[in-house]
Amino acid sequence: MAVKTYSLKKDGNEKLSAHFKVKEFRCKDGSDKILIESGLVKYLEKIYDHFNCSSITISSAYRTPKHDKAVGGKGSGNHVQGKAVDFKAYNKKGELISSKEIALYLEDLGVKGIGYRCGGISTSTHMDINYRLKKWYGDERKSMSASIGSSFYTYLGVKYSTKKTTAAVNVRKEPSTDAKVYKTLNKGTSVKVADTDSIRRDGLDWVRVKIGSKHYWMAEKYLK
């Protein structure tokens, strides 16, 4: 993955992926140059699939140094480098998905730059892809600093209930029967289940489970 330079005039309608075009990442000052880190598109598509979105709208992606300063930036950050995006995601009913669920999912994916409640809005999220930097988790309603700590699960007070498997069951990296299997648990194994919204897919309700310090997915029907 790398940053690529585009022209709004020449490349604006070029499709970057199934759901995103170059022009969606343009600077709001109307400049022709657009920088886009391909990793941003990759993770936006993952969000689109994971939440079965009807759409994702980008409020801010690439910024020229001048525009970045005009909106309160330093003129040299990840937006200026084409490595950041602020966005809102909508489910199939056209309802906004909470930044809480987006942030938890991005943490599951291993994204290092996550801004919860971007701009102070509970349904807006910031994501940046800067491979040289360490983890940056922030709550933008409170501060523009890395104020979260090591995990959104801890910061957001996600609680867990302990359940047991009713059969031998696969723990997967995504909520899908096609997703890669992390491990298989034997019948009667105790599992910590995160108290967050479940996802319906492949005819099953999927829940997050905590194994060690990481989160994976299991079909809820195999837990009691």
pLDDT in tens, 120-168: 999 999 999 987 778 899 999 998 888 898 999 999 999 999 999 999 9
Q: Where are the extended beta strands (E) located within the chain?
A: 3-7, 33-37, 55-60, 84-90, 113-116, 125-128, 136-139, 160-164, 169-172, 181-185, 190-194, 199-201, 204-211, 214-219
197 pLDDT more than 90:
no
Q: pLDDT tens for residues 7-21?
A: 999 999 999 999 999
Q: Are 116 and 143 in contact (CB under 8 A)?
A: no
In this predicted structure, what is the pLDDT of residue 1?
A: 72
In this predicted structure, what is the pLDDT of residue 144?
A: 84
Tell me the one-letter amino acid at 105: Y
Q: Are 32 and 7 in contact (CB under 8 A)?
A: yes
Q: pLDDT tens for residues 62-112?
A: 999 999 999 988 999 999 999 999 999 999 999 999 999 999 999 999 999
32 pLDDT more than 80:
yes
Share of the chain above pLDDT 70, in %: 100
In this predicted structure, what is the pLDDT of residue 130?
A: 84
- Report pTM: 0.91
